[in-house]
Structure 1
Amino acid sequence: MKYGAMPSTLGFNDNEKIKIFRDLYNSIILKDVVQRNEIRDIDLLDRIVRFTMANIGQLFSAKNIVNYLKKDKVSISTKTIYNYLSYLEDACLINKVRREDLIGKKLLNYIEKFYVVDLGFRQIIYGKNTEDIGQTLENIVYNELIRKGYDITIGKLYEKEVDFVCKKNNKTIYIQVTYILADDNTIKREFEPLGKINDNYPKYVFSMDDFDRSRQGIKHVNIVDFLTGEMDI
């Protein structure tokens, strides 16, 4: 959760991991982003990276960054922001996940989510991986679903959201991710959107709880069991 799972960092202590990630990140930014795309405003790029890392798993639009930078009296166009984000995607630092209207069955533009390819990068750039547990767990589950070969979108169901709509080999599954199902309000928030989806595809709520809270045909899955392969989907 804190320093990700980059193979080159395994077996090293925290200080060594930080150095490896910083060297790797600086190399990617310099060669694959700045030099390749002839970026001159490095400070602006850094601000966009930090904002994106801070908001992994959150609904995102370029307007969010415009408003964020205005506070520091930095002016930037939405086109430039999307260009910078595409450079970061091309450099394999972040992944963009588009939204899908589950009623109209179409992809939606301009509001999406971003996830970091390895949480070690977020830790050295922004920190707080172990504090932002919900975001961190969602990013981990996303990376594992990608590893398993799923194509992923975010589901929009009226005013509700489904974290992951996962498709592979004509199979669709729906997944909600949360840290713990702490109370009835949390249970309702996570299960209710899945219950409103009017099809027979499998539906899951992932959390760190040890107790099985499956209900109404929606399966509750422990995240560790999913990651270790004890619970296959």
Structure 2
Amino acid sequence: MVAMRRETWVEVIRDFHEQELPELVEREVNVPIRLPIRRAVSIVGPRRVGKTFYMFQLVKKILSSGVERSRVLYVNLEDVVGVDVKELTVMLDVFYEMYPENKRRDVWLFLDEVQCVPGWESFVRRVLDVEKVQVFICGSSSKLLSIEVATSLRGRSITYHVLPFSFREFLRAKGVTVERYLSSYERAKVLNALSSYLEWGGYPEVVLYPEERYRMVKEILDVTVYRDVVERYGVRNIKLLKLLLRALTSSTMFSVHRFHNFLKSQGVKASKNTIYNYLEYLADTMIIYPLRRYSPSYREAEQTMPKIYLIDNALLKVGGVESRGKLLENRILTELLR
């Protein structure tokens, strides 16, 4: 791998400090900009929920508190070609050379798509040990699971989840203001927005660009299959995985037993263990959420069949689910996850 020249890092750092931050729909995820302990903040979530834009929201929050922009650095490591873990150290050295006063002050470092640099964990651990740096990391849901971050950083991280828009965030994105007392017209606008939210959910791009929403949701499903599951876990039976995802998105009453019988009727060979494994893979990507029936006995709870929910109603919509009751139930679950 060819090492980057220091001049390239100077350009990357200057570009961030000179560029305008994008317009944002303010999210209600409460991530502190200062931690009282030396921990990295890990921002995780399913695909296309706005994790990168949430990082920019945190940058704006830091700047609005009176911190100079020169004390904040955001780098998307997917955009910087040819970086290895040693280059991250060079990046920080260049940053301090450009702003030597920062050596004595608290600074904030945002590393987006951190999985693009093999061995990034050692760099983050070293920074936490020896520098006055608050580190924020974010990455692809296919390669940066919350449990892996905790393991890689040896417990030196705190994880926050970003999910699709809540209804309050949805209204904000649509420019709908909700006062304590509503006129009949305002009430009608909110109810119309709620109807749209229940059907098409809260993926930011789907909300902001409704004319392309069907294509966008299908793309999320396709990428989940091919990158988040097939590439990550080496799944060979892609047909089975596609059938499973189709079954999950077309019904809120999924049953492994019924699905297994359906496969046999279609001449598709697959064991129940394989189906359970694939469900676990999909749960890792946070596109589905298996919920078991509550029991005070852990053993009894684990023996019950989980009910499968999806992370956003848009996934059910493209699968053909029209029942308002089922859509509302799925939406309630996602709200409880916040």
TM-score grouping bracket, smaller chain normalisation: 0.5 to 0.7
Contact 1:92 1:117 in 2 (8 A): yes
CA distance in structure 1 between the aligned counterparts of 2:240 and 2:298, rounded to whole angstroms: 37
Deviations, residues 92-131 of structure 1 (Å, cap 9, x unaligned)? 110000112469994142511010001112222x123xx2
1:127 is aligned to: 320
CA distance in structure 2 between the aligned counterparts of 1:37 and 1:108, rounded to whole angstroms: 24
Q: 1:6 aligns with which of 195, 203, 209?
A: 203
Structure 2 gap segments, 5+ residues each: 1-197
Q: TM-score, normalised by structure 2?
A: 0.39
Mark the CA change 1:23 to 1:104 in structure 2 (over 3 Å): closer, same or farther. closer
Contact 1:99 1:109 in 2 (8 A): no
Q: 2:285 aligns with which of 73, 77, 91?
A: 91
Matched letter for residue 218 of structure 2: R
CA distance in structure 2 between the aligned counterparts of 1:23 and 1:70, rounded to whole angstroms: 28
Alignment RMSD, CA only?
Answer: 2.2
Contact 2:291 2:307 in 1 (8 A): yes
CA distance in structure 1 between the aligned counterparts of 2:236 and 2:336, rounded to whole angstroms: 36
CA distance in structure 1 between the aligned counterparts of 2:309 and 2:237, rounded to whole angstroms: 24
Does 1:107 find its partner at 2:301?
yes
2:225 is aligned to: 29
Q: Which has the larger radius of gyration?
A: 2
Structure with greater proportional strand content:
1
CA distance in structure 2 between the aligned counterparts of 1:96 and 1:19, rounded to whole angstroms: 26
Deviations, residues 140-168 of structure 1 (Å, cap 9, x unaligned)? 11111112xxxxxxxxxxxxxxxxxxxxx
After TM superposition, the structure 1 stretch with the greater mean CA deviation from structure 2, 68-77 or 41-50, is 68-77
Does 1:144 find its partner at 2:338?
no
SS of aligned partner of 2:200: coil
CA distance in structure 2 between the aligned counterparts of 1:123 and 1:93, rounded to whole angstroms: 14
Percent of pairs with identical residues:
30
Matched letter for residue 127 of structure 1: G
Contact 1:21 1:120 in 2 (8 A): yes
CA distance in structure 1 between the aligned counterparts of 2:224 and 2:248, rounded to whole angstroms: 16
1:66 is aligned to: 260
Deviations, residues 184-204 of structure 1 (Å, cap 9, x unaligned)? xxxxxxxxxxxxxxxxxxxxx
* Aligned residue pairs, count: 141
Shift of 1:65: 1.4
SS of aligned partner of 1:99: coil
Mark the CA change 1:145 to 1:100 in structure 2 (over 3 Å): closer, same or farther. same
Structure 1 gap segments, 5+ residues each: 148-233
Does 1:53 find its partner at 2:249?
yes
Greater relative CO, 1 or 2 (CA 8 Å, sep 6+): 2
Mark the CA change 1:104 to 1:92 in structure 2 (over 3 Å): closer, same or farther. closer
CA distance in structure 2 between the aligned counterparts of 1:105 and 1:83, rounded to whole angstroms: 20
CA distance in structure 1 between the aligned counterparts of 2:283 and 2:201, rounded to whole angstroms: 18
Structure with greater proportional helix content:
2
